[in-house]
Amino acid sequence: MGKLTVIPAVDLQGGQAVQLVQGVAGSAKVFGDPLAAAQRWAAEGAQWLHVVDLDRAFGTGSNAEIAAEITRTLNLNVELTGGIRDTETLNQALATGCARVNIGTAAVTNPAWAADAIQTHGERIAIALDVRDGQLATHGWVDQAGDLFDTIELFDAIGCARYVVTDVSSDGTLTGPNLDLLRLISADTSTPITASGGISTLADLEALATIPTIDSAIVGTALYLGHISFADVR
């Protein structure tokens, strides 16, 4: 797949690996033991893992111990996200030894704090741009707040090392990524982008690889269901 790194998603809810459709609570496809899922992707050749604590994102609980176990157990670069909105939760995530933490809601609701996190921790911090109908989605994608391109301008000026862009409307749907949105964002910033949402085929990955600043893609349901395999993307 050339320059494009495929990053498997392990989304945590109620202690299980799940995949939601468009981030909607109650829409989960359940894929069992999250550590077993992570071990599977590691065995198949993954270099990175995207671990999301959905319960923290929704404010309904925490899977922090499971996320920490995955990070501690596997020799992978792990990016953690979900409900990381203050110094305490950020420090807990960083203390697991993860390679990167994604900040989403707090980038909109508390940009000064997110900016300080970037200045303090550098490349270990990415800004998650979760987009629904052109606006940033926050609090587990339930609320909409904040202008997408104003946020990019702000964090570009601060020196953000990476954006993780998710089109909420396509996430978990296997309907393909929102290439138009990703091209617009790519044209607006030179910061590296990880794309997420709707990826279902090798053709989707090939299309993403043509967009200049996209160097990686998060894949969830398509990997779990076997629509894409690591054998295909090596």
Give catalytic residue positions: 11, 130
Structure tokens at 199: 């990826």
Report which DSSP code applies to 102. E
**First-to-final CA distance of the chain:** 6
Q: Torsion angle, CA of 148/149/152/153, rounded to 10 degrees? A: -150
Angstrom distance (rounded) from CA 154 to CA 20: 30
Structure tokens at 116: 């300080």
Structure tokens at 35: 């550590």
Angstrom distance (rounded) from CA 178 to CA 181: 6
Angstrom distance (rounded) from CA 98 to CA 73: 11
Q: Which residues pair with 79 in a beta bridge?
A: 50, 100
Angstrom distance (rounded) from CA 52 to CA 222: 17
Angstrom distance (rounded) from CA 215 to CA 52: 20
